[in-house]
């Protein structure tokens, strides 16, 4: 086999969103990756201008609404996709507001619909050999306690009363988990905790995602929150890409800090309110259109925390976090959240 054929051609979904962009950039700098085909719903992000202009082109971008069946069929049967000879699909889910706020197929949240369609087309496409899906660690059932250690074997939260935001993560998780171990496709599912980026942005946390501002939380509770840098998410994806292992893997960064600390780091301070008042407050916030994330979150996530046992990812994927998360003084003299190499 020649060196050129050994290069991986990778399709990345939601390549226009912050985490997707980070994954695409990491892959484009990976010498073992040939072409990167990014999908998104917006225009080509400016961060990719340099790669778009490359000759011969290694980066291709296409606008596809992955929650729509017709849109997906058109793309996966297109000549552009066939010519790219994609062998690995990296599924990066969309953000919270898009994941649950926008109906996909027959009222199914967009995040779930996307997961189904991406898996379906990855299975249907003969050239695709691997699927790496990013999922959330909020799928686990949380035992009472400020911090609980969770391994990949821990129970999923299948309670019927799970908030829709978390329910969509669980559905996606089960969709991909169902194909783990299948012969046709190697599936690696990475469960990541709260993702933070330089500048204090928070993703995939049912409480802190969304615009900065006050977040109500029950008084007397300050659950521990496992963090991972977006750069480490990209590193973990690369590790899964180059490994031949399939399965479910917890990945997390070094830091685990209380929710109140993450909130203060990222401009989302907590407002402790008595437990019974919390439901009323979230209803009012939802009615005012100011608390989309809060109104959809149940009490458990606000009371009980978790950290992830990442030994399996270290052992089988060779992933170890490279970045630390903390406060640093920015150029304007203000403290803000930064991620820096460990």
Sites of contact with another protein (CB under 8 A): 143-154, 218-222, 224, 226, 254-258, 275, 303-305, 307, 309, 311-312, 314-315, 324, 342
Which is nearer to another protein, 74 or 159 (by Cβ)? 159
> Which residue do the tokens 């990541």 mark?
192
Which is nearer to another protein, 62 or 261 (by Cβ)? 261
Sign of CA dihedral 263, 304, 99, 46: positive
- Taking the mean position of all CA atoms in its chain, how far away is CA 145? 25
Q: Whole-number minimum distance, CB 73 to another protein, in Å?
A: 37
Q: Whole-number minimum distance, CB 131 to another protein, in Å?
A: 20
Question: Could you count the other beta carbons within 10 Å of the beta carbon of residue 244?
Answer: 10
* CA distances for 47 relative to 11, 36, 63, 92, angstroms: 17, 14, 16, 18
Q: Which residues contact 120 (CB under 8 A, 6 or more apart)?
A: none
Q: Whole-number minimum distance, CB 264 to another protein, in Å?
A: 13
Six-digit token string for 80 = 């552009």
Which is nearer to another protein, 197 or 256 (by Cβ)? 256
Q: Whole-number minimum distance, CB 160 to another protein, in Å?
A: 21
Which is nearer to another protein, 106 or 153 (by Cβ)? 153
Which is nearer to another protein, 52 or 314 (by Cβ)? 314
Pair 68, 39: CB distance under 8 Å = no
DSSP string, 175-199: HHHTTTT-SS-EEEEEEE-EEEETT
Q: Whole-number minimum distance, CB 256 to another protein, in Å?
A: 5
Q: Whole-number minimum distance, CB 181 to another protein, in Å?
A: 12
Q: Could you give the CA distance from residue 130 to residue 65 in angstroms, rounded to a whole number?
A: 22
Which is nearer to another protein, 60 or 226 (by Cβ)? 226
């Amino acid at each position: 086999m020649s060196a050129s054929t050994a290069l991986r051609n990778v399709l990345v979904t939601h390549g226009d969103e912050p985490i997707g962009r980070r994954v695409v950039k990491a892959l484009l700098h990976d010498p073992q990756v040939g072409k990167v085909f990014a999908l998104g719903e917006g225009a080509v992000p400016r961060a990719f201008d340099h790669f778009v202009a490359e000759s011969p082109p290694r980066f291709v971008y296409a606008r596809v609404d992955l929650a729509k069946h017709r849109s997906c069929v058109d793309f996966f049967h297109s000549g552009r996709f066939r010519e790219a000879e994609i062998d690995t699909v990296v599924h990066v889910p969309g953000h919270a507001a898009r994941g649950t706020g926008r109906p996909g197929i027959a009222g199914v949240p967009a995040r779930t619909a996307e997961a189904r369609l991406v898996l379906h087309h990855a299975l249907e496409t003969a050239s695709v050999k691997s699927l790496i899906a990013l999922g959330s660690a909020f799928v686990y059932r949380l035992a009472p306690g400020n911090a609980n250690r969770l391994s990949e074997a821990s129970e999923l939260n299948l309670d019927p009363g799970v908030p829709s935001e978390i329910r969509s993560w669980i559905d996606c998780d089960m969709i991909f988990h169902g194909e783990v171990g299948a012969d046709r496709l190697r599936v690696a599912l990475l469960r990541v905790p709260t993702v933070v980026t330089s500048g204090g942005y928070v993703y995939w946390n049912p409480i802190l995602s969304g615009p900065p501002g006050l977040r109500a939380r029950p008084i007397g509770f300050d659950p521990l929150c496992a963090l991972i840098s977006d750069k480490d998410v990209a590193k973990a994806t690369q590790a899964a890409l180059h490994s031949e292992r399939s399965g479910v893997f917890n990945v997390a960064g070094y830091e685990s800090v209380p929710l109140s600390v993450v909130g203060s780091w990222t401009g989302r301070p907590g407002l402790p309110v008595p437990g019974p008042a919390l439901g009323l407050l979230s209803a009012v916030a939802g009615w005012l259109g100011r608390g989309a994330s809060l109104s959809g979150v149940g009490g458990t996530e606000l009371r009980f925390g978790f950290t992830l046992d990442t030994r399996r990812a270290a052992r089988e994927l060779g992933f170890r976090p490279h970045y630390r998360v903390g406060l640093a003084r920015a150029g304007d003299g203000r403290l803000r959240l930064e991620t820096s190499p460990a």
